[in-house]
Each structure stands twice: as structure tokens, then as C-alpha cells.
A and B are shown apart, each in its own frame.
Chain A
Amino acid sequence: MADLTINLAGIKAPNPFWLASAPPTNTGYQVQRAFEAGWGGAVWKTLGEPIINTSSRFAAVHFNGQRVAGFNNIELITDRPLEVNLKEIYETKKRFPNHAVVASLMVEPKREKWHEIVKRVEDVGVDGLELNFGCPHGMAERGMGAASGQQPDLVEKQTMWAKEAAKTPVIVKLTPNITDITVTARHAVMGGADAISMINTINSLAGVDIHSWNTIPHVGGKGAHGGYCGPAVKPIALNMVAECARHPEIGVPISGIGGISTWQDAVEFMLMGASGVQICTAAMHHGFRIVEEMIDGLNNYLDEKGIESVMELVGKSVQRYSNWGDLDLNYKVVARINTDTCINCNKCHIACEDTSHQCIDMLTGASGNYLEVREEDCVGCNLCSIVCPVDGAIEMVEIASDLNPMSWNDRQRTLARLNAGQTEMEVV
């Protein structure tokens, strides 16, 4: 049994699986049920005022018979008074002193408002604060949420205000609805953030009903963009976590959020630099008990790898995440088709023929039709192995290169050096 405890900027939890600030963490009843089920921490549904909500609120994107590939919401922050939430936070923390309880906060961008809310939540014993600069709808119209999260100076200033009053670690939750998340992340750090969390939801419209022509969801026949999350956003979130993790001027712990629905997803986020993860959609789809499968899977994975503590995973793949200009242009892989396991659906052939480099031949031999890659024409794009429905039928194999590794940046530097030499020679 590996050690699953984590420490995120000083906030300790029995395991890396926290519930994100969202509908599952709306009440003490829910958070306590979650802790009973095994969740290691919870970021309370964002406290703030006023209480306004819409009906309906959620929509999901189903993909080829699998439900909830993506999830969209237009719900707002807490729908209960601050006093009630504070009382329940206090009770929850008292019952579960070793679990992480983090208060998500959102107030008007005013110094005294931040001071006041920070003091009030810390008084009831939270382990940390998460500043919600990400909510993409409803609050932004009032200068809060994403409206402040999209302005680096506002992120910095408000983080500073929260930090002035805070005694517990401050996590700044970032919006992905921005060109370069490392900019706002850096400003959060400049404001004194102890950690950053990402991503909040992505602006989205889940769909349009092709019969009624209403948006999905709609509120009395009208729709507005919501926030997108769930498995579909994972690659976007993972990139943002990784970009922040490898940025030399950020350097604070990261709480990874975005489409995490299995223990494997959590491992990926941690390898890419997250010290823990926050989850919402998977819990909304399956209930709190889903964490049992995550804990069991993570534990068995760590045992299998001989890793004693989950924290040893944090950041292990960050150094492998780089810029395109640093990739070795002389590295080569080609596809190889295993005709024994191939089931002859020919999807690889048509994908390559129509949309890639026309290098998979359909041939006929003594025992019938088979597929073969012309390796000299294969560019190693992976497409065939992606569309292949059978595990192991298409393998991407490394081809030894006669050439030394050379990246685009190496190439440009070499050219620059050569050109410089030529100039000198000309001068001479």
C-alpha cells in the first residue's frame, strides 16, 4: 500500500483526489458524504453574493453512445447564504480534521471585500483558499470570475489583497479562456499566490436542438454560453498544467483540474506537474463512490511500479514537455502492421490513402488480402495506429537514423553560425 497523502503548498490531504468547487461541494452534507466515500479534499462551492440561479443549468455532450464525454453548465456560485456555508464548513472540518477543506472565494474586486471574506472563512477553520478567477458566465458581467481572471493585473492585485489577510495557503484558480495561461499564472505568483489551480471551465455552447432550434440548455427559449468540462477538456487542461509547470517564472504547486475521470488521468496530471487533482464531472456522472476505483487503481499502479509515495510522481514528465523547436527533426518512426492480429477493416488504408501519405497498400497473397506499409514513404504520423480498432495490430517502430539528432533550433543556430562565418570570410 503506497502512501497516497499529498501536500499541496502546505495543504495536506489523505489522497490527491479532491472535489472541485462545483455542485458536488455545495453543502456540508455533500462534502461529508464525499469524505466518507474516500475523497481526500474538497474545494467548497464558491462563496459569494448575491444568490442567483437559472433553470435549467446543465447540458452534456454524448459521444457515440457513451454518455457525458463533455459537460456544460450555466450554474453560478453557491445558492446558500454565507452564514450557512460557514457553519457547515466548520462542522465538516471538525468531523474530518485530516481532510482538506478549501474555500473557493469570489468577491467584487475591492480590497476590503477580499480582506473581509478571507477573515471570515479562515475563522471557521479552512485549510486553504481558492480564488475563483475563472467562472465564465454570470459573475463576469459583474466584474468577477473570468472578467478579472482574464486581466493579469487584476489577478495580481486581487491575489495580493487576499494574501494580505490570509493565514492559510492561497490557490489562484485560472480561467482557460485566455490566449496564454502562463501570463495570468505568472501574475498570480507575483501577487503572492502559494499555488495555482487550473483549468476552470471553457466557454461553450453544448448544442442546438435541431427540431425546436433552441440552444442546449435553454432558459425559457434563450441560451448563453456556459462553461465546458468533463473528459473532453482533459487535453486542454493537461497542456495548460504542463505549460505552467515548466515555466521558470511560475514555480508554485499546481492543483490539476479538467476532465479527470480515472486514476490514470490523475497520474497524467501529476506527472505533468500537478501536486493533486480536482474532480467534478466524474462525481456528477457516477456519484462519490467513483473515488474508490480511483484510489484502488492509483494504489495498485504505485505498488506495481514500486513507488512508495504518490508525491514522487509530481512533475516527472515535465522535463519531457518542450517546445516544438527543440524536437529532433531526424527522429523517425514508421508504422508496421501485424497481419496476424489485423482484422482487415482497412480503416488504416483509407485513412492513409485519403488523408495522409498514401503508404499503406492493400495486397492479395496466398492466404487472402493483407495490408502492408511502404516504410520508405511512411512519415510516422500515427494516424493508422489511431484509427486501428485492435490493440497491437499496428505498431509504430523506431527507425535508426544515420543522422545526428537535430532540432529546428539547432538548425537555425547552425545556419546562423555558418552565415556569420561566411560574412567574416567575405570580410576577409
Chain B
Amino acid sequence: MEQRIPLRSLAPELLARNFAEAEPGLTPKAAVEESNRCLYCYDAPCIKACPTGINIPSFIKRIATSNLKGAATAIMDANPVGASCSRVCPTEILCEGACVLNDASEPIMIGKLQRYATDWAIQNGRPLFKAGTPNGRKVAIVGGGPAGLSAARELARDGFAVTIYEAKPLAGGLDTHGIVSFRLPQSVSLWEVEQVEKLGVTIRTGVKVGTDVPVSDLMDNFDAVVLAAGMGYVPPLGIEGEFLDGVYDAIQLVEGTKSDELPILALSGARVAVIGAGNTAIDAATCSVRLGAENVKIVYRRTKDEMTAYDFEYEFAKQEGVEFSWLTAPSRIIGDENGKVMHLECVRMQLTEPGADGRRTPVPIEGSEFLMPVDAIVTAIGQKRRTGLIEMFGLAHNRGVVQIDTATHVTSNPKVYAAGDIVFGAGQGEAMVVSAAEQGKRCAHAIREHFASAADDESGPEQVAI
């Protein structure tokens, strides 16, 4: 058998370089040229294509007229996580995909201009928004990710006293922990967190609702609750050997590269198989490359046409040297005598008739099993639902997807609103950061409207029946 060199971590300076932001920002000259190319369309399709409805022509005109504060304000006003979104949004299917210049010449680089303006705001340091006059109402938010932060920012501007409960030591959710640093440096997300804190929002980190704080505390002590707890780690594959040493969870793997507290995986020289072909799988694969892996394969039971990763993610992964094994399903993980991963047993698949979701169903080709020699396996087949927490709140859900009124985001309990990944799935919602931000805003606006109409009924805060 081939003798493998023991795996180790890359040198810290090499890791730092590999995990530094890959895409450079626009230079001032490029920003001036690009912003002046924008047509400043009326009823612009880019605005409609943005889930948060950023007034894109306006912020671009402000860049063109050296009003970067105005540009950043226009962006962040509509999207409290607009700096992160400038880097992680699939712009080619959103704003840039809708740009009228697509066919005429080239679409405006909206994402990069958005980054240029928000980078200015990050460097400038001064807050862009003010908290509203206190209205005496209190709102608890469970989860400090994009949806929770967005709701908190809007509620604070409307004068609500907001407390965010965040299970992790840092707020920001996936932007802080789950998106690879070379696409989204953690500092960008933490700046967004800071902007929300500066409005007087209390963020209680390291506090898990349902464990550290009972749900009843929130229900009893707040006028409204926004549930924005996202999703959990990757669920089990359900195949033999998945608890062997060397099998990793994709989300934890990425998280490890963004946190100082968790050890960075020793993958230098490793052969890595990533199971799944969504955006998290791509992130795990490119992370593995940058951790020094010698060969990284994405193992997916369907084909490129069915994968859920965005095109630009796929292109990026290819450029990073990630290989794709289509129509390949893992069937067993085989370890060595020390319980260390050695092989991934796979079976070849073929596509048959479309299933319920419209995608063609893969079925195994009999007798096609083969062994893929690996040093590490990363699972990225989705995320666990927060069913336990949802049930503690007693909310109606569809297999862990909180059921909401899509206009107001109110749940089956009229005091509880929900947004973000916790409402995503089963044909409801969107998985994008920008969608979570918009949903958080909608929760906040629905809460504002709710209490505004309650006030109109001339009931004081104490008498409002919720």
C-alpha cells in the first residue's frame, strides 16, 4: 500500500495568504469609470432584482459624485448586511443579471461598486444611522445572523429596545462563521454587527435560547420575538463509517478557518472528497484547497445541471483546481486499523425520470462500486433543522421549516415572527444572505405596524393583547 506522509497544517503565513480576501476591490479610478457608466435607469430592473430593493442607481450616482457616505447610506439603509452582500450575493442572477446593459455592452459591476462604497464606510468608521426615540417596547431576537441583525437594526431605528440572543461567541451568523474568508473576511461581518450594536441593541453572545435561557423568559418578558436561529450543522449521511476519524462537517470546517479558537485542520497534502454540490460544498472544497490539500474532489450523485451551487461558485471551484465526480454516490466509508479514513466507497449513478422537485432522480448502477482513496471526507449534504427549538416555541412547522405568513413573517403564534434559514425550505423562502436580510426587515416592519395599529386603537402598551 502507498505510504502517505502524515498530514499537517500549512505555515501560518501561508494560511494567512490563502485565506485573505481573493478578489481585490475597485480602485478609485475604476469606481469612477464604472459608476459613470451606469445609466441611472428609472424604475430600474436592478432595484427590482435586489431582494432588499437597494436603490442601486442612486448609490452609484453618489459614488460618481464623490458622495461615498451617501452611497453607503443608501446601501445599508435597504440592507443592514449590505457590505457582506456586496461580496456574497449571486449578483449575476440578481442585480447585475437584470442590468439593462447586459445585451448592450456589459452589465455594471454593481456588487463591486457596492463593496467600494461599504468599504469606505468601514474605513471611515462613523455610524450611518441613529436609533429611534425609545417607544417603550421590547423585542427579543433569537439568532444574530443576517436575518436577526437586519430585524434588530430596523427595530432599533424605530425605537424598540432589542436584545439578540446569539449562541456563538460572535454574532453575524453565516457571514461571520460560514462563508469562506477569502470571499468574505470576518471583519466585514463584524462591522455590520457593530453597526447594529451602536444603535443600542444588546447582543448576548454565547447564550443558547432553550438551553441557557428558557423560551418562556422571552415569551414573558418581551413584546415580540423574532426567531432567526438559522439551521444547524450537516446531518448524517446515513452510511457506514461516517464517524471515522477524518470525516468532517463542511460547516464546521469552514468555521474552523474563520475562528481563532478552533484548530485549523491539517489537510496539507491530503486527498479530500467533499460530498454534496451546493454552495457549502464548494466552500468546503475551496477551503480544503487553501488548507493545502493535494487533490479535492466533489462527489455528487447527480450532474452539474442539478447541483444547487451558483455558477460563479462552480467556476471559482474549477479555477481553484477542484475536481467534480458527477453521478457518483458515496456508499460506505472505509477506515484503516486506527479508525482513520482510508477510502470512500462510491457507486456510479444514472438519472431517471424527474422526481417531485422536478430534478431527475439518480439511481445506482448495479455493480459499479469502486474505492476512492482519501485522507479526509467532508460532508456537505445540507443542514439540520432547528426542530427542537421550534417546538419549544410551539410553532407550526413543516419538517423543521417554520410556517409563516409570507407578508408579515408572523408564525402560528402572533407574538413570534420568523426569518432567515429557519423559514427556508419545503418550497418556502430563499437561502441567500440578502433574502434573510430582507426577511428580517419585513419582520421588523410588521412588528412596527402591529404596534402602530395597536396604538391607533388607543390601547396603551400594557393593554395590548398580543
Interface residues of A (CB under 8 A from B): 66, 262-264, 286-287, 289-290, 292-293, 296-297, 300-301, 304, 389-391
Tell whether, in the assembled complex, residue B29 and residue A293 are in contact, meaning their CB atoms are under 8 Å apart.
Answer: no
Separation in Å of the B206 CB from the closest CB of chain A?
38
B67 and A300 within 8 A (CB): yes
With A262-B65, A263-B65, A391-B29 known to touch, is A296 a contact of B40 (CB < 8 Å)?
no
- 12 new A-B contacts at CB < 8 Å, known A297-B67, A301-B67, A304-B69: A66-B36, A262-B65, A264-B65, A264-B66, A290-B40, A290-B61, A292-B58, A293-B70, A296-B70, A296-B73, A297-B62, A300-B67
Q: Number of B residues contacting the other chain (C-beta, 8 Å)? A: 14
Tell me whether B58 and A293 are in contact (CB under 8 A).
Answer: yes
B6 surroundings in chain A (CB, below 8 A)? none
Assess A296 versus B29: contact at CB under 8 Å? Given A286-B40, A287-B42.
no
Q: Which residues of B contact A263 (CB under 8 A)?
A: 65, 67
Cα A275 to Cα B34 in complex, Å, equals: 33
Instruction: Decide if the interface of chain B is mainly helix, strand, loop or mixed.
Output: helix
Report the Cα distance A390→B65, complex, angstroms: 17
The complex places the Cα of A287 from the Cα of B40 at a distance, in Å, of: 10
Contacts of B62 in A (CB 8 A): 293, 296-297
Residues of chain B whose beta carbon lies under 8 Å from any beta carbon of chain A: 28-29, 36, 40, 42, 58, 61-62, 65-67, 69-70, 73
Please, which residues of chain A bring their CB within 8 A of the CB of B36? 66
CB neighbours (8 Å) of A390 from chain B are 29
Chain B residues near A287 (CB-CB < 8 A): 42
CB-CB under 8 A from B40, the residues of chain A are: 286, 290
Nearest-CB distance from A378 to chain B (Å)? 25
A-B residue pairs in contact (CB < 8 Å), sample of 15: A286-B40, A287-B42, A289-B42, A290-B40, A293-B61, A293-B67, A293-B70, A296-B62, A296-B73, A297-B62, A300-B70, A304-B69, A389-B29, A390-B29, A391-B29
Chain A residues lying within 8 Å of B61, measured Cβ to Cβ, are 290, 293
B67: nearest residue on chain A (CB-CB)? A297
Min CB–CB distance A414 → chain B (angstroms)? 44
Chain B residues, Cβ within 8 Å of A389: 29
Of B42, B65, B69, the contact of A293 (CB 8 Å cutoff): B65
> Given the complex, which residues of B lie within 8 Å of A391, measured CB to CB?
28-29
Judge whether B29 and A297 touch: CB under 8 Å. no
Q: Which residues of B contact A293 (CB under 8 A)?
A: 58, 61-62, 65, 67, 70
How many Å from the CB of A64 to the closest CB on chain B? Answer: 11
Distance, CA A66 to CA B32, complexed state (A): 13
Chain B residues whose C-beta falls within 8 Å of the C-beta of A300 in the assembled complex: 67, 69-70
Q: What is the distance, in angstroms, from B147's C-beta to the closest C-beta of chain A?
A: 28
Residues of A within 8 A of B66 (CB): 264, 297
- A389 CB → nearest B CB, Å: 7
Tell me the nearest residue of chain A to B55, going by C-beta.
A292
Chain B contacts of A296 at CB under 8 A? 62, 67, 70, 73
A286 to chain B, nearest CB (A): 5
In the assembled complex, how far is the CB of residue B36 from the closest CB belonging to chain A, in whole angstroms?
7
Q: In the complex, A183→B28 CA distance in Å?
A: 44
Chain B nearest CB: distance from A300 CB in Å? 5
